[in-house]
Structures are given as C-alpha cells and as structure tokens.
Structure 1
Amino acid sequence: MCLIVFSWQPDSQYPLILAANRDEFYRRPTQAVDFWKDWPDVFGGRDLEAGGSWMAINRNGRFAAVTNYRETPNPAGLYSRGALVANFVTGSQPAFDYLHTLQQQTDKWAGFNLLVKDSTGLYYFSNRAKEQKISPLSSGIYGLSNHLLDTPWPKLLRARHRFTRAMQESIPPDSKRLVELMQDSYQPPEEQLPDTGVSKEVEKRLSSCFIASKDYGTRNTSVLMIDHQNQLQWAEQGYLQEGVTSESRQFKIKLQQNQLS
C-alpha cells in the first residue's frame, strides 16, 4: 500500500472512510480481496509471496493497513511488512499493546507505516519516526504515503484535498468517485518532488497518486466505509500492467459489535 487518505470521525455516522492505492510489482502474486480460507473471519487482500497483507479487517472490527517507508539504501527486514497487518487482524492483542510490542522489535522490519484499529480507537506507528511514538489519532482527515503520516508530498496533499472535498459534498461520499480520485495520474513539477534517494526519473514516476508502467504500478484501489452500526462497505478496483483496469468488486459485510476479541 503506497497511498492512503482517510477520515476518522469515531463519534459520527461513519467513523472510518478510507481510500487507498496499493503499488507493487505486477509480477508479485496477489490474491484479490476476499475472506481468507485459513482465517475465515478475516477479509482483505493477500500477498501470495510472503503470506501477509497490505490492508485487512476482521469481522470483529480489527483493522490494519501498512505502507512502506521509502529510503535509500533500503535495508531488508527479517520479516515481510505484510505480516504486520496479518498478525494484527488474526490476533487478539489490544491495538496499543500490539504496537507497544512492535516498539521493542522495530529492527526486524524494513521501514513501515502502520495503522491499526480496534474498539479502543485508531492508532498510527512508524519504525522510522524519530521518537517511534504510538499515536492515537483524534478526529480528522489524514494522508499517508511512503513517508510519515501527513508528510506534505505533492501527491498526498492533492489526494487529501480531493478526498476532503468529496467528504464535504456528501456523507458518505460515492465510492465510485473515491475510486476515480485515486486514479489521478497528475505528476507535479520536478522542483516540487521530494528527495528520497532515487533518481529524478524514478521520483517523477512515483510522484502521481496512480502509477502505471510495464513492471511496477498501482495494483488496486480500495475504498472502505464503516458506519456506526458496524456495516462495512468495501469497493475494490484492480489494475493490470500500464494501469489497465481489470476486475471491480463490491462487498457489504456486517461486523460484530465493537469489542476487544
């Protein structure tokens, strides 16, 4: 997962509304979003190479999403970052405790940003933040890419602005519109690009919300909404090489009452 914009309003009719793009090499085998055969209460996409996930939710409302932290050189971790999501949604440890455990083991993963949610709230943690604090999120609209939460990269600012506008016009916003805004291929001027240690050519290619090429790009757009009655709506649009659209799927799932499992 490489770009997430989301609204967290825990006391509203729709506590969580989120739109996200997963960017990955097209050759990496992936299972489309669905319930997991080995964990029937877990719903999300699956990385078939390492067995983890970029975003998933349990029927009891435990939710997690991860993005990579871009850095050069990019050290290999002992474990796949997708395990951070899978371990949370298949486990029962309260969100804060789960992240506290990760604080003691940050060297086992390459750089990551992690969102986790349970009945106690929504939390953010990164093993590349200076103080590596666990951050409970207050009500607001946020953006997360391949740096720390709300780092003002052009594509994050652009996506968050358009997402905010969609939220202002309709609650809930139209899921189709959210998918479309995540398909934005605009590339900002070179002088606005961040310097993450890659070449200017690569930096430019990665600067758009939606990435398309022969070998690497946006593999899927996910839109999920959870209302105050624990009804989950999840829309998924897949993509092939060069950004060609593939399967589109829609799901409605009744979650259990908010409680720690």
Structure 2
Amino acid sequence: MCLLVLAWKHHPRYRLILAGNRDEFHDRPAAPLNWWQDDPRILGGRDLKANGTWLGVARSGRFGVVTNYRDLQAPVENAPSRGQLIPRFLTGATSPKEFLDDLRGAAPRYSGFNLLVGGTRALYYFSNRGPNPRALAPGVYGLSNHLLDTPWPKLARTRERFNTLLSQPEISPEDLFAMLADREQATGTDLPSTGLPEDWERVVSAPFIVNERYGTRCSSVLLVERTGRTILQERRFDAAGIQSGNSRFEFTSAEVPEVWFEAEDPDETVATDTSFDSSPE
C-alpha cells in the first residue's frame, strides 16, 4: 500500500476499519484479491514478481499491511521482499510484538518499509526507518510512504474525510471507496518535497494517482466487526484510472483465543468462506 487510513477499536461496531490505495508500476504483474491456492489461510492480492502481498488477512483474525518508505537511500542490494513479511506473519503463531521483535535484527537488510500487524486484541507498528516497534492504542491513524501519521497533504486530506465518515453509526464501503478516489493533486505550498523531481512530486501528491507508467493499481477496504465478521473488498484500475476489476470476500474469523496478548500493554457477489473473484480480468 502507499496510502491508508485506519480506525482501531475506535468505532462502536467495527474493531478495525482500513481503507487504502496501492500504487505501483503498471507493468508489474499482480493477482487479484483471493484466497491463495498454495496457502488457503491467506486472503489477499498477490505480487507475482516476488509472491508477497501488500495487504492480507487470515481466518484467525490476523491481518497485516506494508507500505514502502520513500527516501533517498539507494535500494538495498539483494534485499528480501517486503511483501513476504505479511504472509509470514499471517501464517505464524507468534504475537505481533514477538514477530516484530524477531524482525528487528533483520530489518536493515530490507529496503525501507512501514509495517502494521495485528490480531483480534492488539495492533503494532514498525518501520525500519524509525524507532522500535510499538503498540497502537485505540484511535485513528494514517500512513503513506513515510513514518506513521506524517502529515503529507494527501494523507491529511484523506484522514480528515475519514474522520467525518467515522462519525456515522454505519460505515459504507462505497463512501470509503469514494474517499480513496480523490485525484486532486497538491499545488503551491501544499506540494511536498520528498526528494522526487517536482513533476513527479505533483503526480504522486494525489491520494489516487493516474499516470501511464505508475499509479493506483487497486483500492482496498477492510471492515472487521467486533463479532469477527470480516469484509475485504478490492477494486482494481488500469493505467487510465478506469476500474477493471472488483472482488469482495466475507467470512467470520475463527476468533482463536490469543492468550499471548493478555501480557501486552454494488454489483459484486459476496463470497462467504469460499474462493471467489468477480473481476472481468
């Protein structure tokens, strides 16, 4: 992912509300959101170049999301795939804290990343360009290609709209997708300076990026009710920003007791506990 907002234990109905855009080069192959055939514990899209994912959930209630960290450092040579971190967590048995503590030693081997991993009771954040892993208290957060809650203009604008939606008793996926579809670019003093050429700074300053080479490939909405009912929906887009596919899955998490947490501070078809993809790809 390259832009996301989330509410963790903030809404009376939903334990987790997450909405985000994945930006990537259009020629990088990816598989649509689905239960993975080689590991049906994982529900997520898939990067077919490195076989990882940017966002994934499991029937156990575990979930994870990763974003790149934009900096001027050269890519780490022979770095492992950041997208492999998500399936490793989803299929593991350690707590989010233990997973990130184990990762810290190997983190410098990766190119820059932000990582959010959680379960039914706890949510943790870690960046290999920032401080140590930390538990997130109930609240509203935003993340792009810098540290958590860095107020880049596109993130600040998206988060403001997100807060408005959170004030409603019911959360509509359509409203969240509309929020993610914002294609307005920053101008003037609102244009951030992150080390990119000015023309590219302008292109990527929009929450939803449209460009023939690089842009928003998909938008995702994840809703997890306090009962464990989980909805994950993905809309995919071509280089012109036109929707090219849509997938929606619904299941109830197994709600496996996570005792190790006790010690820690419109036209789509619904798929329930079965593989399904309604995209026209």
TM-score if structure 1 supplies the norm length? 0.95
Q: Which SS does the other structure have where 2:244 is aligned?
A: strand
CA contact (8 A) 2:32 2:247 kept: no
CA contact (8 A) 2:18 2:222 kept: yes
Aligned to 1:76: 76
CA contact (8 A) 1:232 1:255 kept: yes
Check 1:170–1:13 CA distance in 2 against 1; reply closer, same or farther (3 A cut).
Answer: closer
How far residue 246 of structure 1 moved from its aligned partner, in angstroms, is 1.0
Q: For 2:38, give the aligned amino acid.
A: D
Gaps of 5+ in 2: 260-281
Cα distance in 1 for residues equivalent to 2:219 and 2:102: 30
Task: Calculate the aligned-residue CA RMSD, in Å.
Answer: 1.5
Cα distance in 2 for residues equivalent to 1:165 and 1:22: 23
How far residue 118 of structure 1 moved from its aligned partner, in angstroms, is 1.8
Cα distance in 2 for residues equivalent to 1:33 and 1:120: 25
Aligned to 1:143: 142
Cα distance in 1 for residues equivalent to 2:198 and 2:169: 38
Cα distance in 1 for residues equivalent to 2:37 and 2:246: 21
Check 1:201–1:8 CA distance in 2 against 1; reply closer, same or farther (3 A cut).
Answer: same
Aligned to 2:98: 97
| Residue 207 (structure 2) aligned to one of 206, 209, 214 | 209
Cα distance in 2 for residues equivalent to 1:27 and 1:120: 38
Structure 1 residues 165-244: aligned runs within 5 Å? 165-171=164-170, 173-244=171-242
Worse-superposed segment, 239-248 or 219-228? 239-248
Aligned to 2:6: 6
How far residue 18 of structure 1 moved from its aligned partner, in angstroms, is 0.6
Deviation digits for residues 236-255 of structure 1 (CA, Å, limit 9, x no counterpart): 11101121111122221111
CA contact (8 A) 1:95 1:120 kept: no
Aligned to 2:272: none
Identity %: 40
Cα distance in 1 for residues equivalent to 2:41 and 2:15: 21
Worse-superposed segment, 67-76 or 19-28? 67-76
Which stretches of structure 1, 4 residues or longer, exceed 2 Å deviation after superposition? Answer: 10-13, 258-261
Deviation digits for residues 25-45 of structure 1 (CA, Å, limit 9, x no counterpart): 111110100100111111011
How far residue 169 of structure 1 moved from its aligned partner, in angstroms, is 2.4
Aligned to 2:115: 114
Deviation digits for residues 179-201 of structure 1 (CA, Å, limit 9, x no counterpart): 11101011122322222111011
Cα distance in 2 for residues equivalent to 1:10 and 1:119: 14
TM-score if structure 2 supplies the norm length? 0.88
Cα distance in 2 for residues equivalent to 1:54 and 1:222: 10
Cα distance in 1 for residues equivalent to 2:6 and 2:250: 19
Check 1:185–1:10 CA distance in 2 against 1; reply closer, same or farther (3 A cut).
Answer: closer
Q: Which SS does the other structure have where 2:167 is aligned?
A: helix
Q: Which SS does the other structure have where 1:188 is aligned?
A: coil
Cα distance in 2 for residues equivalent to 1:34 and 1:260: 25
Structure 1 residues 123-162: aligned runs within 5 Å? 123-129=124-130, 132-162=131-161
CA contact (8 A) 1:118 1:258 kept: no
Cα distance in 1 for residues equivalent to 2:167 and 2:11: 17
Aligned residues, how many? 258
Cα distance in 2 for residues equivalent to 1:74 and 1:159: 29
How far residue 258 of structure 1 moved from its aligned partner, in angstroms, is 4.1
Q: Does 1:57 align with 2:57?
A: yes
